[in-house]
Structure 1
């Protein structure tokens, strides 16, 4: 993709964006892997901490924060704590000490994403002639930018479901704001994400469906969150475990595995099976999509629907290989999960950096363990998701769901395609 290049000569030689461009005018996916692997530590992700601090200091603003699944298994590393001690509950307590009004869990809208994306897949799968195949997941913004710039003909194959981050913002500024009597224009929604590409995602012109303002106002990476906790002198070892707030704070085992490669596929198939048969599969029925192999394939039979051929890929190099194989006709799938970062969100570009050590696999195993220990392991069984549909959305893929939770991936352009 030729994003970076050597610039200057002699003693003025440096590394800069190729062809003297601004980074935003390139095909960069903003995945952040160049930052986490920069040998000199010279590259950094844009820091949005001051934007968040200004909102926290404004008494007229209601601050709402959501935390992604992969953050809970990585933030402990920055404090040299074990994941067993530095739980999601202690993380919620730490964020409360920072002054946020509401602390929510992105797991809630990961479950919501599964309801919409699983329903969308079944709709496409049972009306095959109306769609181009395969259907791709769309929750990784780095992947979405990649396919739009490198393989634009496949943009129509992306699921129209928004990512959990963006679904959360839309629900927070509509359903939750209405329930609490909060003016959505005075609500500031912050995301804590393992991903630097989420910063660009929340700024897309198509992500303003709740009230006309951006559904998500600012994104902080895991590293930015850690820096803010330290600047506020918040010591995790001094904190008790506290719950996330209700009603956007509950999540299932199917939601927490969104942070691991194969997790979105596994979770989607669990609920797609139920939606097709009205019966739950065994929670581990789709375990073939798990593991650290960067390109996994499997086939599963869903009674009443047929055999579903799936693939799971992580890292853009493996993604390119898969896409080229699709173009060549050497592989054929129905449903494909793509994550730009090796190992999925657990290895995201916003996660803590350990020079020379890759942590994605270890973090991913922690997420699978959290799933195995969860009381509820199916997104469609989340009681707060059921309430959201009964009180507000009515049904997956319905009119209100489509307005708030789905998007048009062709409504914005990447720089290389703007004049083509």
Structure 2
């Protein structure tokens, strides 16, 4: 690797040729603050917070986009630099809603932290005309408050470049510039897919999920209701971050303990329904392969991806698996099988899900998701919302003992837990489908070719004399690329897994927010995914069809995968939408 020699604050350092000053400073253990910068996503040098002095340059330069060269001397903390950053923050604050105490991001706001670090006082010396915006509550999953927007453009960059949706961007010019949808439509009136990636990268409280924690507290307090909670695989890999634990900490046991102390009647694991999904989806795949069904079969676990398919690839909705997502399968099973066994009227069950995904808030309101005549799932919360509930209840999370899920709907396999990582659904399905096709036990359960955070992964497996071609994509721009090749006849597969969020659910729009200075230089997706793969290898059962609770469920209620009863409860349908349609 070719390097160049530079000085940063008087310290000599060799850095890779082509590095920016920001990247070089990181190697020198110096953190230059940023606001707009997101590596490989939003590298526009617009906010001017990252300015530094370069000897010989006529003015301060934006370190996030300024390349290093041999012999360069950089100063990152001179009075001129610090005063410039401070003045920029004061100008940003001059049009910013400064109600920090009531803001959802208070204490976890990148703008707030910078103001504290640079000793910016709320004097309002640049205050003047201040535009006011109505808060946009039109979307099912989130709200937009432009009064707190700092025009960093991270949200529009991730929506366009990473997700290929592009329903938000800068409108108007100059002082009137604001981030909005075309023609100032409400977000809910666009083809937004509810993925929440814009929330994940927002540095302030301008974007946030709709909070339903008060509704959950009210349900728990209602003695006439039986309140069940289910938690997705990725939640245990991210919740600890809400309480200061390192990224990649497994907090499954403490999470269960906290949920019990919040007052839920039953604490179950969505991984159980992930195993159930595999049973149905593997059967559906084998049926399509053996009986000439529509191929490739495409997974349907990610509601953001499903809505994207309905809007942008409506002719491929027949390729979607008819299986409900694990969240919805769990709710449907709880309000049918579990309700019958417990003698509870489904109308008296409140099904709460804790998800890494904001699109789950949209999914709970979809049509054809009412197996018992009532909504399969009543309330979907993000990991952030659960963190707020635990804090509000005064529960000391980090000191809790480890506890186990309730049975039998809390029993799961390693196949279920890896659903949270890109490639996990495919790997789990292959573990079952291959053994079904061959009638033989797999020697190795690790399909490593489809693991990892690469945007598109392909593999071919010879199963019972047949070459099964599979593909995995995460992030909707990658999904678009993959499906366009399929449509154009440039690629052919039997089975495709697509996750709406880059890296899968571990990087979902409802996971704990990670500031840019950490996100830009750490692979948070792999750090969280490692929790799930480590759990998989440690579990007694690693194949969905070996889960004793799943076997019992089929013996007592569904009969067999793909049965009429299973289709009534566990399967759904889709809608062909246009790009501009919302229903």
Q: TM-score, normalised by structure 2?
A: 0.69
Aligned-partner Cα distance in 1 for 2:578–2:504? 23
Change (3 A) 1:183 1:19: same
Correspondence 1:292-371 to 2 at 5 A: 292-303=453-464, 306-356=466-516, 357=519, 358-371=523-536
3-state SS of paired residue (1:308): strand
Whether the 8 Å CA contact 1:195–1:350 is kept in 2: the answer is: yes
Indicate if the aligned counterparts of 1:252 and 1:374 stay in contact, CA closer than 8 A. Answer: yes
Tell me which residue corresponds to 2:543: 378
What residue is the counterpart of 1:266 in the other structure?
A: 427
- Cα deviation for residue 321 of structure 1 reads 0.9
Question: Match of 1:160?
Answer: 322
Structure 2 Cα separation of the partners of residues 216 and 299 of structure 1: 37
In 1, the alpha carbon distance for the partners of 2:338 and 2:507 equals 31
Alignment of 1:165-176 (within 5 A): 165-176=327-338
Task: Name the residue aligned to 1:409.
Answer: 574
Distance 1:285 1:300, change over 3 A: farther
Please tell me whether the aligned partners of residues 189 and 582 of structure 2 are also in contact (alpha carbons under 8 angstroms). no
Q: How far did 1:87 drift?
A: 2.6
TM-score (norm 1): 0.95
Alignment of 1:178-189 (within 5 A): 178-189=340-351
Deviations 1:69-94, CA, capped at 9 Å, x for gaps: 00001111111225787531211110
Structure 2 distance, partners of 1:138, 1:61, is 31
Counterpart residue number, 1:54: 218
Give the C-alpha shift of residue 132 in structure 1. Answer: 2.8
2:402 equivalent to 1:241:
yes
**1:260-319: CA deviation from partner (whole Å, max 9, x where unpaired):** 000000000000012222322134352211112110000011116x21100000011111
Q: Does 1:89 align with 2:89?
A: no
Match of 2:127 in 1: none
Note closer, same or farther for the CA distance 1:285–1:369 as it changes in structure 2 (3 Å cut): closer
Change in 2 beyond 3 A, CA 1:38/1:183: same
**Residue aligned with 1:353, SS:** coil
Alignment of 1:186-265 (within 5 A): 186-210=348-372, 212-265=373-426
Match of 2:63 in 1: none
SS for the counterpart of 2:459 is strand
Contact 2:262 2:390 in 1 (8 A): yes
Inter-CA distance 374–82: structure 2 relative to 1 (3 Å threshold): farther
The aligned counterpart of 1:122 is 286
Counterpart residue number, 2:32: none
SS of residue matched to 2:267? strand
Distance, in Å, in 2 between the alignment partners of 1:379 and 1:340 is 23
**CA contact under 8 A between 1:270 and 1:283: conserved in structure 2?**
no
**Greater C-alpha Rg:** 2
Q: 1:109 maps to what in 2?
A: 273
How many Å separate the matches in 2 of 1:153 and 1:413? 10
Deviations 1:129-180, CA, capped at 9 Å, x for gaps: xx33211000000000111111111010000011000000000001001111
**Which of residues 528, 531, 556 in structure 2 aligns to 1:391?**
556
Which structure 2 segments of 5+ residues have no match?
Answer: 1-164
Note the C-alpha offset of 1:372. Answer: 1.2
> How far does residue 40 in structure 1 lie from its aligned partner after superposition?
3.9
Aligned length: 414
Deviations 1:232-284 (A, max 9, x none): 11112331111111110011000000000000000000000122223221343
Q: Distance in 2 between matches of 1:184 and 1:414?
A: 35
Does the CA-based 8 Å contact 1:120-1:159 persist in structure 2? yes
d(CA) in 1 for partners of 2:444, 2:402: 28
Taking the aligned partners of 1:406 and 1:204, their CA distance within structure 2 comes to 13
- Match of 2:234, SS state, is helix
Deviation at residue 329 of structure 1 after TM alignment: 1.4
Q: Secondary structure of the equivalent of 1:15?
A: strand
Where does structure 1 lack aligned partners over 5 or more consecutive residues? Answer: none
